Amino acid sequence: MEIKFTTTPSPEDTKKSTIPTRQSWDDYFMNMAVQAATRSTCPRKQVGCVIVRDKAIIATGYNGSLPGEAHCYTHGCFLQDSHCIRTVHAETNAINQAAKNGASLNGATIYCNVEPCWNCYKNILSAGITSIFFKDSYGSKPYIHQECVLRNLTKYERIE
C-alpha cells in the first residue's frame, strides 16, 4: 500500500476540521476548570480548578465534602459566618490530591473558574505554585497585587 504525505489538507478535510477554532492552552485548561466545577457538591458555589506544569495536568479539584461524608446538596451546608465549611475547597482539594500522589507543585500554574479565597490563595502559594489564572472574581482582595509582587507570583490574571 502506498502512503501519501500531504502538505496541505484537502478541501473536504478543511471543511470537517475544528482547527481554525482551536483553543489556546490557557482557554483549554480554564475550560477544564469550568468542567471540574460541575462535580461540586455545594449549591452555594461551584468551583473547579486544574493545576498544570509544562502543559500537563498534575491535579484537578472541585469543592466537595471529605471522602465518604454527606454532601451539601443532599444534607445542607454547614454555615459559619455565612461561609460553607462542610466542603474542602477546589484548590485545596487539588493540592491535597497532588500531595497524596507525591507530585510536586513547585513552579506550577493553577486555573480556577472562580478567584481563590484567601485560605486557598495561601495554600497555593505555600505549595510553590507561581501562576494563578481565574475566570470569575470573588470578593475584594485589595492587597493582592502587592502580595503578588512580594511573593514573586509570575501571574495573577483574570481570563474571561
Please state the closest distance from residue 96 (CB atom) to Zn ion, in A.
Answer: 12
Only one residue has cell 459559619, namely: 80
| Chosen residue from 37, 58, 72, 129 binding Zn ion by CB under 5 A | 72
Instruction: Report in angstroms the alpha-carbon separations of 135 from 10, 13, 27.
Output: 38, 34, 10
- Beta carbons of 64 and 33 less than 8 angstroms apart: no
Q: What distance in Å separates the CA atoms of residue 34 and residue 62, rounded to the nearest whole number?
A: 10
- In the complex with Zn ion, the residue whose CB is nearer, 25 or 78, is 78
Please state the closest distance from residue 155 (CB atom) to Zn ion, in A.
Answer: 18
Among 2, 12, 69, 91, the active-site one is 91
- In the complex with Zn ion, the residue whose CB is nearer, 65 or 109, is 65
50 belongs to the binding site for Zn ion (CB under 5 A)? no
153 belongs to the binding site for Zn ion (CB under 5 A)? no
- In the complex with Zn ion, the residue whose CB is nearer, 84 or 148, is 84
- Beta carbons of 122 and 143 less than 8 angstroms apart: no
Q: What distance in Å separates the CA atoms of residue 73 and residue 141, rounded to the nearest whole number?
A: 29
95 belongs to the binding site for Zn ion (CB under 5 A)? no
77 belongs to the binding site for Zn ion (CB under 5 A)? yes
Exposed, middle or buried by CB within 10 Å (0-12, 13-18, 19+), for 1?
Answer: exposed
Within 113-132, the residues that bind Zn ion by CB under 5 A are: 117, 120
Within 10-49, the residues that bind Zn ion by CB under 5 A are: 42
Is 91 marked active-site?
yes
Q: Which residues are catalytic?
A: 91
